[in-house]
């Protein structure tokens, strides 16, 4: 398989980061939440997850030049009064890596030495994620907790990790700790699982399809496909849980024009891309408020997970997403995702709904 070494490293990094996040979510304390300048909550798990991914990728791919475009930097953790939280994150990361190294040592009957990262090592690992990306070379792209508000609510979130090569997405991994293996929308055409198990790992490499496996077990991965629904009346659609992330009124108008009968499934994070890739729903609509600039880490991993499962991901004008311009996605109005059969109908409904909204209201 192409990118086999990189995929193994990415799966390990995202799974370990998700394990750290699960541990923190179970014991979420008020003091774990800091406030960033844009008011979105940043958690101990956010920083810890980014450090784990950075350290694991560096360790597994140590012979390669390493560029990581990621959401967080260590600025807030270097401020006065942050020492306690910094030490907590360092301990969490050490404990997470120690568990993995110990299991590996047991499997291979070798000696085990616990990792002893200092707080400075941790800050350096977090700041490995300050690359700007761009159209040349290789860039890993990470959202350490995509769906922070879902994480804080005990709901859906994802560790989302992708790889860009010359500006194109070639690999994506989504670790979704709270997403059931079974369908969340009732019309899954993959029949990939009837279990009550929670926690999914989705992964895709270019030209090789998309696979899903349980996050916490060694079960064989199953190949997944997007919904084959052709009649929009039978389609269900996903949108962001947070109204701030998507214009729910516009999505509702589009759904009405298509004749969609099912109510929207609103969940946080790129778990939506994962669920869509296995056919849980047929459409994903994301229309942020004016002035909002999409960041590449919110879509890189999810986009390839859906496209390799047979889906199409475009902006509202039907153009492919361009991840070669650095940290931001400058696109037309929003992002739409569906299967090949529904895309022409969806684009028409999107155009009409946007035109309706732009009409001057009668006096």
* pLDDT tens, residue by residue, 31-74: 566 666 544 456 889 999 999 999 999 999 987 778 999 999 99
Residue 300 CB coordination number (10 Å): 29
Report whether pLDDT(193) > 60: no
Asked if 63 and 194 sit in the same domain, the reply is yes
- With both helix axes pointing from N to C terminus, report the angle between 44-60 and 4-26 in degrees, rounded to the nearest 10: 160
Asked if 38 and 88 sit in the same domain, the reply is yes
Separation CA 48–CA 178 (nearest Å) = 18
- Its sign, for the CA torsion 301, 317, 355, 264, is negative
Q: Is residue 38 annotated as involved in ligand binding?
A: no
Asked if 237 and 205 sit in the same domain, the reply is no
Active site residue ranges: 46, 148
Report whether pLDDT(87) > 50: yes
Asked if 204 and 303 sit in the same domain, the reply is no
Burial label, 96 (beta-carbon count in 10 A; 0-12, 13-18, 19+): buried
Asked if 210 and 88 sit in the same domain, the reply is yes
Report whether pLDDT(352) > 90: yes
Among 223, 245, 276, the domain boundary falls at 223
Mean pLDDT, residues 251-269: 92
Asked if 207 and 273 sit in the same domain, the reply is no
Report whether pLDDT(112) > 80: no
Number of domains in the chain: 2
Residue 18 is predicted with a pLDDT of 97
Residue 42 is predicted with a pLDDT of 66
Q: Is residue 298 annotated as involved in ligand binding?
A: yes
The residue among 248 and 130 whose pLDDT is bigger is 130
Range of the domain at 27: 4-223
The residue among 52 and 268 whose pLDDT is bigger is 52
When pLDDT is cut at 50, 70 and 90, the band that residue 245 belongs to is low
Asked if 168 and 257 sit in the same domain, the reply is no
Asked if 208 and 237 sit in the same domain, the reply is no
Instruction: Name the strand (E) or helix (H) holding 122.
Output: helix 119-127
Asked if 194 and 257 sit in the same domain, the reply is no
Mean pLDDT, residues 311-318: 96
Tens of pLDDT along 196-212? Answer: 899 999 999 999 999 99
Beta-strand relationship, 283-286 and 265-267: unpaired
Report whether pLDDT(129) > 50: yes
Separation CA 204–CA 195 (nearest Å) = 23
Mean pLDDT, residues 169-182: 97
Asked if 330 and 205 sit in the same domain, the reply is no
Tell me what the pLDDT averaged over the chain comes to: 89
Mean pLDDT, residues 1-19: 94
Separation CA 143–CA 159 (nearest Å) = 6
Domain for residue 300, yes or no? yes
Tokens of 262: 């099912």
Asked if 121 and 270 sit in the same domain, the reply is no
Domain for residue 363, yes or no? no
Report whether pLDDT(289) > 90: no
Report whether pLDDT(180) > 70: yes
Report whether pLDDT(133) > 50: yes
The domain spanning residue 339 has which CATH number?
A: 3.40.190.80
Q: Is residue 280 annotated as involved in ligand binding?
A: no
Beta-strand relationship, 68-70 and 311-315: unpaired
Among 223, 253, 283, the domain boundary falls at 223
Among 188, 223, 258, the domain boundary falls at 223
């Amino acid at each position: 398989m192409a990118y086999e070494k990189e995929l193994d490293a990415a799966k390990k990094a995202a799974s370990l980061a998700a394990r750290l996040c699960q541990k923190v979510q179970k014991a979420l304390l008020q003091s774990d939440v800091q406030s960033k300048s844009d008011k979105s909550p940043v958690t101990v798990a956010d920083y810890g997850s980014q450090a784990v991914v950075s350290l694991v990728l560096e360790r597994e791919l140590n012979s390669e030049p390493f560029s990581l475009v990621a959401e967080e930097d260590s600025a807030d953790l270097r401020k006065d009064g942050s020492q306690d939280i910094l030490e907590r994150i360092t301990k969490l990361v050490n404990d997470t890596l120690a568990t993995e190294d110990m299991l590996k040592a047991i499997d291979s009957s070798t000696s085990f030495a616990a990792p002893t990262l200092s707080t400075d090592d941790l800050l350096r690992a977090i700041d490995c994620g300050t690359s700007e990306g761009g159209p040349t070379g290789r860039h890993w792209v990470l959202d350490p907790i995509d769906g922070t508000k879902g994480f804080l609510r005990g709901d859906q979130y994802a560790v989302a990790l992708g790889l860009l090569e010359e500006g194109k997405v070639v690999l994506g991994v989504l670790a979704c700790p709270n997403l059931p293996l079974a369908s969340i929308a009732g019309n899954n055409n993959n029949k990939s699982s009837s279990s009550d198990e929670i926690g999914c790992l989705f992964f895709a490499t270019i030209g090789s399809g998309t696979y899903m496996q349980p996050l916490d077990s060694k079960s064989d991965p199953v190949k997944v496909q997007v919904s084959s629904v052709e009649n929009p009346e039978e389609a269900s659609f996903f949108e962001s849980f947070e109204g701030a992330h998507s214009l729910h009124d516009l999505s509702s108008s589009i759904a009405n024009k298509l004749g969609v009968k099912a109510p929207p499934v609103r969940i946080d994070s790129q778990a939506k891309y994962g669920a869509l890739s296995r056919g849980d729903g047929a459409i994903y609509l994301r229309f942020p408020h004016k002035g909002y600039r999409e960041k590449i880490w919110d879509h890189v991993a999810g986009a390839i997970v859906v496209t390799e499962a047979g889906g199409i991901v475009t902006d509202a004008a039907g153009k492919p997403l361009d991840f070669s311009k650095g940290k931001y996605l400058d696109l037309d109005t929003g992002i739409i995702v569906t299967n090949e059969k529904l895309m022409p109908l969806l684009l028409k409904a999107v155009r009409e709904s946007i035109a309706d909204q732009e009409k001057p209201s009668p006096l």
